[in-house]
Amino acid sequence: MANYIIKRLLQVIPTLLGITLITFLIIQLAPGNPATLKLQMAGQGEMGESAIAQQIIQQTKELYGLDKPLIVQYLLWVKRVFTLDFGNSFKDHRPVLAKIAERLPITIQLNVISIVLVYLIAIPFGVYSATHADTFSDRALTLFFFFLYSLPSFWVAVLLIMFFGGGDFLDVFPVYGISSIGADSWPFFRWLTDRLWHLILPVTCLTYGGLAYLSRLTRAEMLEVIREDYIRTARAKGLSERVVIFKHALRNALLPIITLLAFLLPAMFGGSVIIESIFSIPGMGQLGFESVLSRDYPVIMAITTISALLTLVGLLISDILYATLDPRIKLE
């Protein structure tokens, strides 16, 4: 086991280097560069009148360290990252890690809540579908979840805001941000309800689409397990259906579902640019999107690297979990 973990950890290094190198090359070789972009920005689709002398652009490039050969730039970056220094954003010269630290908690709150909700809702319905396979209610559930999955989230977000956010219809939910102004000085309980109140619409938008996949997966896994011999044995022993389903079947069916969590890590870290921009939530999605648009290389690199690292570790943990929980699987 220890050997296996060490081996896997060693594998992380080349993968990580590969990811960073690919990202680095993509963003550097792509058209558009941060120096000229910064000098010409005056607003959307509008340019400032100032002239841009070539010499000044050159100075800005030197300032950003973009005048060196690509490979040197990459190696310098790697060297800095080893000391956990992801550099400063081109946009405002603040440390990239500080910018991420500012936004990550918000994104994680949103995503953790929505993932937990997806699991809480989808698994029971999946089990229900499996135990009622091919009945009318199973089909209705299938149809309903697919129906939800098929609704583009930006569309739903916009409609929800229109209907529940105090347009010409209901005024129930706040439509932007994640807390009321001044909420930071409120007592905890009031702060919490205010926060949750703000999160309801965005979390709804992030949640409904995931239900179909997970409930279908649960259903499939359950059906698979139910056909296994040990379930038959359990039934034959006269155990109640409830015990059979929950204690024996579900437990085993859940395994692949739980390990799925590892794959959700990058999405959790990356946030959702669409939902965040509609609801004015300053999360990772917005940060990533803006950094791509403004060619803020250090931020792009940091987001990719950290998300990659998290996922690799997540994959490792899920494999280990799998092996620990399922005696049939042995780690080489």
Tokens of residue 260, six digits: 């799925």
Q: For the chain, how many residues are written?
A: 332
Among 70, 230, 232, 246, binds other proteins (CB under 8 A): 246
Instruction: Give the residue with the Cβ less far from other proteins, 60 or 252.
Output: 60
Question: Token pair for residue 51?
Answer: 């002239």
Tokens representing residue 23 in the block = 């990202």
Smallest gap from residue 39 Cβ to other proteins (A): 5
The answer to whether the beta carbons of residues 281 and 177 sit under 8 Å apart is yes
Stretch in the footprint of other proteins (CB under 8 A) among 72-80, 190-198, 251-259, 320-328: 190-198
The SS3 assignment for 53 reads coil
Q: Which stretch binds other proteins (CB under 8 A): 231-239, 241-249, 253-261, 319-327?
A: 241-249
Rg (alpha carbons) of the chain, rounded to whole number: 25
Measuring CA to CA, which residue among 295, 302, 296 is closest to residue 269?
302
Q: In this complex, which beta carbon is closest to other proteins, that of residue 7 or of residue 79?
A: 7
104, 111, 115, 165: residue in contact with other proteins (rule CB under 8 A): 165
Binding mask 125-164 toward other proteins (x if CB under 8 A, else -) reads x-xx--xx------x--xx--xx-xxxxxxx--xx-xx--
**Site track 109-128 with other proteins (rule: CB under 8 A), x = hit:** -----------xx--xx-xx
- Kindly identify the residues of this chain, within the stretch 192-221, that bind other proteins according to CB under 8 A: 193-194, 196-197, 212, 216, 220
Shortest separation between residue 167's beta carbon and other proteins, angstroms: 5
228 binds other proteins (CB under 8 A): no
- Residue 311 engages other proteins in binding (rule: CB under 8 A): yes
Instruction: Kindly state the DSSP code that residue 41 receives in the 8-state scheme.
Output: E
Q: What is the rounded distance in angstroms from the CA atom of residue 30 to the CA atom of residue 295?
A: 9
Q: Give me 103's structure tokens.
A: 């936004």
Q: Does 105 help bind other proteins (rule: CB under 8 A)?
A: no
Query: Taking a C-beta distance cutoff of 8 angstroms, is the pair 34, 297 a contact?
Result: yes
Work out which of 5, 81, 217, 267 binds other proteins, going by CB under 8 A.
267
Q: Looking at residue 185, what DSSP letter applies?
A: G
The minimum distance between CB 285 and other proteins, in angstroms, equals 8
Q: Is 43 helix (H, G, I), strand (E, B) or coil?
A: strand
CA separation (Å) from 263 to 61, 115, 256, 260, 315? 38, 12, 11, 6, 7
Tokens standing for residue 280: 């004015």
Tokens of 78: 């790697």
Q: How far is the CB of 229 from other proteins (least distance, A)?
A: 14
Window 18-77: residues binding other proteins (CB under 8 A):
18-19, 22-23, 26-27, 30-33, 35-54, 56-57, 59-60, 62-63
In the set 175, 203, 225, 301, which binds other proteins (CB under 8 A)? 175
Helices 96-131 and 251-259 meet at what angle, rounded to 10? 150
